[in-house]
């Protein structure tokens, strides 16, 4: 059970790291007070907790993008509390983060947005397809890729799936003006990949092995699986296209 939770629910590991760090720092504060009569100020204690939470997160196998979150979580709470913000502000901020990153809790897919150079490069790659090709963006984010392709290929059938509620709403509204583009509130694992000529994703390293198995089982011969930056473990891409952007993105292409 622990292995399942640790592999599929990284948020639980992040929470565990925070709790262990809080307990360790609290114990240290008590010892310093009792043995040395010294009371550590709030800010050094918060920074120490953050550093310990980041270190524990690393030991628990969290990916690197989680570590700054662990480091900054408690210090950020202290900074906000120092401004004497009303209690509802914290609840609102938490709900906003939850609605924007809901899928990262279960699917380990944070909100990554395909930049303009990547969208343009992807559009050029699809120029040789039939005018009415079928395309799906798994985890479409705010819908920028779909909007780009809807403008460039008005006869194509474009679909996106997204499970972060607030992000889905933004993508759905952005795609409404385009008749050939629709966004569904649906997990990427429930989407039938065999319906598409091109499957595009910008996910994270965590789900790529499972996605490859799903693609092999469902996608028809000749269809393309295109991943922004993230590789399928032990399965080299048939083609890699370098994108001239600030984060050195790559489009990895597999032909089924």
158 located within any domain: yes
59-76 in b/e burial notation, b at 16+ Cβ within 10 A? ebebeeebbebbbbbbbe
pLDDT for 87 equals 55
Residues 59 and 123 placed together within one structural domain of the fold? no
254: confidence class by pLDDT, cuts 50, 70, 90: very high
Are 74 and 151 in the same domain?
no
C-alpha dist (Å) from residue 220 to 36, 125, 200, 217 = 70, 19, 15, 9
Q: Span 71-94, mean pLDDT?
A: 65
Which of 166 and 236 is assigned the larger pLDDT? 236
Same domain, 14 and 122: no
| pLDDT mean over 114-129 | 92
In a domain, 102, yes or no: no
pLDDT of residue 108: 56
Whether 231 is covered by a domain: the verdict is yes
Tell me, yes or no, whether 15 lies in a domain: yes
Query: For residues 44 and 117, what is the distance between their CA atoms, to the nearest angstrom?
Result: 42
Query: Does 38 reside within a domain?
Result: yes
More confidently predicted of 181 and 111? 181
Least confident of 31-45, 131-145, 159-173, 199-213: 31-45
Same domain, residue pair 76 and 157: no
Is residue 103 assigned to a domain? no
Average pLDDT of the residues in 143-168: 93
List, edge to edge, every strand of the sheet that includes 134-138.
181-185, 157-162, 134-138, 198-201, 224-228, 250-255, 239-242
Mean pLDDT of 193-199: 95
Number of domains present in the structure of the chain: 2
Same-domain pairing of 160 and 228: yes
Is 216 found in the same domain as 145? yes
28, 155: one domain = no
Residue 109 is assigned to a structural domain of this protein = no
pLDDT above 50: residue 198:
yes
pLDDT of residue 180: 95
pLDDT tens for each residue of 85-111: 565 555 555 555 555 555 555 555 566
Range of the domain at 203: 116-255
- Which pLDDT value is given to residue 3? 45
39 and 125 belong to one structural domain: no
Q: How confident is the model at residue 163 (pLDDT cuts 50, 70, 90)?
A: confident
Give the pLDDT of residue 5. Answer: 43
pLDDT surpassing 50 at residue 136? yes
Q: What is the mean pLDDT of residues 49-66?
A: 80
Examine the domain organization and report whether 128 and 73 are in the same domain: no
């Amino acid at each position: 059970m622990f292995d399942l939770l640790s592999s599929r629910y990284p948020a639980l590991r992040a929470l565990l790291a925070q709790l262990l760090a809080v307990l360790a720092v609290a114990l240290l504060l008590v010892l310093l007070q009792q043995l040395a009569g010294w009371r550590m100020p709030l800010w050094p204690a918060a920074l120490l907790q953050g550093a310990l939470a980041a270190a524990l997160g690393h030991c628990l196998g969290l990916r690197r993008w989680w570590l700054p979150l662990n480091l900054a979580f408690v210090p950020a709470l202290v900074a906000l509390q120092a401004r004497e913000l009303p209690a509802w502000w914290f609840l609102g901020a938490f709900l906003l983060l939850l609605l924007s990153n809901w899928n990262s809790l279960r699917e380990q897919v944070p909100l990554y947005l395909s930049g303009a150079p990547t969208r343009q490069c992807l559009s050029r790659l699809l120029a040789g397809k039939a005018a009415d090709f079928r395309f799906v963006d798994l985890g479409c984010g705010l819908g920028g890729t779909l909007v780009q392709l809807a403008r460039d290929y008005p006869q194509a059938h474009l679909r996106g799936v997204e499970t972060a509620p607030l992000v889905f709403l933004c993508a759905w509204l952005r795609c409404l003006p385009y008749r050939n583009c629709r966004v569904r509130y649906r997990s990427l694992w429930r989407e039938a990949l065999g319906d598409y000529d091109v499957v595009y994703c910008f996910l994270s390293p965590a789900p790529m092995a499972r996605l490859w198995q799903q693609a092999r089982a469902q996608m028809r011969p000749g269809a393309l699986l295109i991943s922004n930056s993230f590789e399928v473990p032990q399965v080299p891409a048939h083609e890699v296209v370098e994108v001239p952007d600030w984060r050195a993105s790559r489009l990895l292409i597999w032909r089924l």
